[in-house]
Amino acid sequence: MEAGFLDLQGKKIVVAGACGGMGKALSAMLAQGGAQVIALDLNEEALVQLCQQLNGEGHCYRVCDFGHIEGIEPVIDDIIKQCGPVDGFVHCAGTGEVRPLKMSKYPYMVDVMNVNFFSFVEIVRCLTKRKAFNPGMSIVGVSSIGAFYGAPTKVAYTSSKAAMNAAVKCMAVELGGKGIRVNAVAPGATNTSMRRQYESYAQDTDSYKINAIRQFLGVCEPEDIANSIAFLLSDKARMITGTCLTVDGGKMST
């Protein structure tokens, strides 16, 4: 990424799920572009390691359990108290391995919805309170193209992403008056540990084989997704809100 073009210099960006494949690539890119990364994740050891590896100064982290929604507000309040108002938020936290419908019982559905959707809404709620954000704040949720079409074994995951897409549109309208933009990015198949796990389980299924052909530009790298997120975080995207940008190697066009 050319730091000068997107001009993220000095922006304070909260990254939820910063230690996952996508979160790591994004955090590195934002730091490279001069932003201050406030990393959230469950694993403190991984957070420490991440912050040590990021370019530049001022990066910090908070341990956050995205499955425990009631515990999120104190974490965000502490960030605002210690770091001041923020300029952006990206929700990369995600769970939802392959699971056939007959095995998708209510506790599992709730876990997936908590991590993938309710934590997103809760963090946005907390970060858009008065004095918690700077003018021109940009919010990006990492969704999935799975939200747009049916796939076996993905009821929980794709439902949570479809919920995020709907919430993004409503948030964009509701927060527009505060000058806050809200968008989603919907990756296709991306080379992350979640993808590799899915591949290990599902590579013999017809659905996997068909989807692999449909994504005719190939599998995305985490950096491909991070590029689009960085753009939406930047002021270059100042007229874009309430949308879902697909980064899917052409999959949704077939």
Query: Does residue 253 touch another protein according to CB under 8 A?
Result: no
CA distance 152 to 134: 42
Tokens standing for residue 42: 């469950």
Q: Provide the residue type at 127 as one letter.
A: L
Query: Does residue 106 touch another protein according to CB under 8 A?
Result: no
Cβ-based nearer residue to another protein, 7 or 199: 199
Query: Does residue 150 touch another protein according to CB under 8 A?
Result: no
Task: Spell out the alpha helix ranges (H) of the chain.
Answer: 3-6, 21-32, 44-53, 72-83, 106-113, 119-127, 155-176, 193-202, 206-214, 222-233
Q: What is the DSSP letter of 107?
A: H
Query: Does residue 200 touch another protein according to CB under 8 A?
Result: yes
Query: Does residue 99 touch another protein according to CB under 8 A?
Result: yes
Cβ-based nearer residue to another protein, 88 or 146: 146
Altogether, the residues listed in the chain come to a count of 254
Least distance between another protein and beta carbon 69 (Å): 23
Cβ-based nearer residue to another protein, 32 or 205: 205
Query: Does residue 45 touch another protein according to CB under 8 A?
Result: no
Stretch that binds another protein, among 6-14, 81-89, 100-108, 166-174 (CB under 8 A): 100-108
Query: Does residue 152 touch another protein according to CB under 8 A?
Result: yes
Query: Does residue 193 touch another protein according to CB under 8 A?
Result: no
The single residue among 205, 212, 223, 240 that binds another protein, judged by CB under 8 A, is: 205
Shortest CA distance to 58 belongs to which of 31, 80, 87, 93?
Answer: 31
Strands 244-247 and 133-142: unpaired
Burial of 85 per CB tally in 10 Å (0-12, 13-18, 19+):
middle
Name the β-bridge partners of 60: 38
The single residue among 100, 176, 179, 250 that binds another protein, judged by CB under 8 A, is: 100
The single residue among 37, 40, 93, 98 that binds another protein, judged by CB under 8 A, is: 98
Residues found near another protein in the complex (CB under 8 A): 98-100, 102-103, 152-153, 199-206
